Structure 1
Amino acid sequence: MNPQARSAEQDRAAGGIQRRAVNLGDGNFARASIALKVYPKTRRIRAYLRWSDQGRTRTRYVGEVDQPTRAANLAQAWRKAQTDQLVTTEPLPEGSWASSPAVRRSMTGNRGRDTKPELRLRSALHRRGLRYRVSVRPEEQLRRTADVVFVRSQVAVFVDGCYWHGCPEHHRPSSKNTAFWRQKIDGNRIRDAETTSALEAAGWTVVRVWEHEDADEAARRIAGIVRSKS
């Protein structure tokens, strides 16, 4: 089953796309899915709710299901998740979802990690002999995940998308839901600045790389910083 078919299957079972939302707080939501796990020895089927938060997959046990078909088991699991308030059953705020199918596909395809710019940068860093951790929190108490982290030298690298983070060279405002998207991008900029300040206060050097930057040039800059702190 391809990703579009799997998503449509989850939408049907949940009773609509807006009934699949996990509230992350601060006005942010993640789209969840139900995973079914079959235990052959007992023939029991357990359902788990899964969603992505800060590039990490979160899982929560929903309960056992006992219907004769996969579709019926998914529907039973979603009803239980909604009854137990594991997902929101209230309409989301106006503008929280994409304004058109094309925008929705774009948002769905926006990956939280392992994007092409990240992979290019990591390859360039690796060629320079640097080793690092990927998609981790530099400071565990801060809910901020850096794309590349050099733990020993305390250097945190963020690869920022031009649209989502408001690149001064390439960002172009949306022509639909203008107020919502302006608020969203401005919020991302504020969050980026707060992240940088908090990490610097904790002793980290923060490097931000725009997705349009040349990966080799960015890697050269990062390598110089890392080696100067080693």
Structure 2
Amino acid sequence: MHIIKLNAIDSTNSYLKKLSSETSLRDYTVVITNNQTNGRGQMGAVWDSEGSKNLTFSVFKDVSNFYIDNPFFISIVVSLSILKALQSINIQKLSVKWPNDILSDNKKVCGILIENVIKQNNLQSSIIGVGLNVNQTTFNNLPSASSIKCITGIHYHLDEVLQSIIVHLKNYFSLLQNGHYEDLKQEYETYLFRKNKPSTFKGGDGNIFSGIIKNVSAAGHLQVLLEDDIVKAFDLKEITLLY
């Protein structure tokens, strides 16, 4: 594993994406920074992280020799890898809030941003951005955020947590490469936040409605049982889980 350590950078994803376009990178090349000044999350959200206390990094993954019908399986693999790495250090009550926020005891400890590189209509590589709250203990105006130190009271070595995540990434990408699609999807769904529980959602049009999360399609759409007993599939721009 090749690691590029930067003291400060606007976005590890942007840096690694540019680097991969300019040179041939080793699989699982990691760019990590102590201070990310303009971290990016899903749907243009900003990922705010206290310097030197958390893991903010991106991983280059070559998937050019994978047979992936649906890129969402990359999100499944990454989500499970981080969840399993956290389980290995005894973080409890873990779940995945669709599509790939990692929660512990219903509070967000990790955000993921995956940017796929496509050439000639073929998926070539993925830039996997991870923001994991490790040793930060104060989250101003973020009542739904937490860290693994907040949960356990233990101070963690960032390099050890990173190494564990990479080990699990390699394991799960191996399963994906070998075609274990259904097994991966089923495992992901066992950790799906609020699955089979009545929940409240906000639609893309601003309307509030109730439903029950049933599962996620292979294409990554959230499948919700609505009040009229119809299961409807939503993509990321169409729905927000409120509670």
Which range, TM-score by smaller chain?
Answer: under 0.3
Return the structure number with greater strand share.
Answer: 2
Q: Taking structure 1 as the reference length, what is the TM-score of the superposition?
A: 0.24
Question: Which structure is richer in relative contact order (CA contacts within 8 A, separation 6 or more)?
Answer: 2
The structure having more radius of gyration, on CA atoms, is: 1
Q: Taking structure 2 as the reference length, what is the TM-score of the superposition?
A: 0.23
Return the structure number with greater helix share.
Answer: 1
